[in-house]
Structure 1
């Protein structure tokens, strides 16, 4: 991968990070870096979870059930679940999330850490054109999913007790939207359906 590939792999995440942290009145840089690092780490269990696909048989199968399972369970739910886990870890160690705004910001930081590493991995495997497309689709999509997850996570922290139903709702909505995005990307029914991912 050339230097331009590296730039397109990391720049979108860095730009979104810069926008996100501007929404914090105080910027504890060590905790911001910690959230980003947790995002890096969350890629590892997500990748192992997604390897379940190799147990499903023919990798070229267009079976409808497999498409839905991969898009909504392995990728949509899997990635959002592991990002939620490290968001819990961040809150456990830092206690920085006390409202919706903080929930969104730190959730976005974790998601951008995830997206940054994921994009670098993709850059080693796929051509430059794929990285450019991902820069304008997949990375912003990760930010959107993170806003949903962070919104409900921050809301769940605002009371005297942790509101688990709110967290479950956030995970559900983020996973469904993520799964829908990936369904459009992975489907082979109609080429024009791929553009549906842009609506996400």
Structure 2
């Protein structure tokens, strides 16, 4: 049991540590990051209940659109809501990269508990693939979400703020939907998921770098 729990939580902790340690200007209070991680975990049960209810309605059964909606839209929307109301408006959200840190924390909290439930049911033989695909993909969707939340937070235009907030929700939903559709609609899904994951990591790291660049500009423009 200890090995199973370790296999379930290790990927989320490792990926979270990586993104947290990349915050080189003003690292976020660890208590805030842990709180965000726990909020993500708390989302799992209500989302699972909602998905179960939706799956039992006749008009949601056995369609790719239904499967994608239940996962991509529901999960990313609730994660976005938690980030927006618990971190986005918090005083500690004081540089663009913070959006990535908090979004990744919430998403990995969700992915870690979800991963634990999955491994309890299916065993640790799938732990490697779970770490490589579902857990890391949740973190990468969050990078896009957090990046645009950071842009929204520090833009001076109300119109631009609304635009970036909208993008911060819709882009992760679209990426999550594509991810799910690959497994549901493509027989040789491995041939499609590998380049897609490479794309997510490549673009995710570019967004991490850009968020740091925006953060350095904000830092050096503050009054000393």
Give TM class, smaller chain: 0.7 to 0.9
| Partners of 1:166 and 1:92 in 2: CA distance | 13
Per-residue deviation, residues 7-57 of structure 1 (Å, max 9, x unmatched)? 221111000111111123334122111111111112233212322022137
| Partners of 1:54 and 1:70 in 2: CA distance | 12
* Coordinate RMSD, CA, aligned: 2.1
**Under a length normalisation based on structure 1, what TM-score does the superposition of the two structures give?**
0.86
Task: Compare 138-147 and 164-173 and name the one that shifted more.
Answer: 164-173
| Partners of 1:157 and 1:185 in 2: CA distance | 35
Gaps of 5+ in 2: 198-224
Does residue 46 in structure 1 map to residue 30 in structure 2?
no
Tell me, what secondary structure is at the counterpart of 1:137? Answer: helix
Give the structure with higher Rg (CA): 2
Correspondence for 1:104 among 85, 91, 100: 100
Tell me, what secondary structure is at the counterpart of 2:40? Answer: helix
Q: Paired residues, what number?
A: 191
5 Å matches for 1:17-166? 17-24=16-23, 25-51=26-52, 52-56=54-58, 61=62, 66-71=63-68, 73-91=69-87, 94-160=90-156, 163-166=161-164
Gaps of 5+ in 1: none
**Is the CA contact (8 Å cut-off) linking 1:148 and 1:170 kept in structure 2?**
yes
Q: How far off is 1:93 after superposition? A: 6.4
**Under a length normalisation based on structure 2, what TM-score does the superposition of the two structures give?**
0.77
Partner residue in 1 for 2:6: 7
Per-residue deviation, residues 59-101 of structure 1 (Å, max 9, x unmatched)? 6x4xxxx112211x11011111010011012226633223321
Per-residue deviation, residues 156-190 of structure 1 (Å, max 9, x unmatched)? 10035661221111211111111111122234x52
| Partners of 2:59 and 2:105 in 1: CA distance | 36
**Is the CA contact (8 Å cut-off) linking 1:23 and 1:105 kept in structure 2?**
no
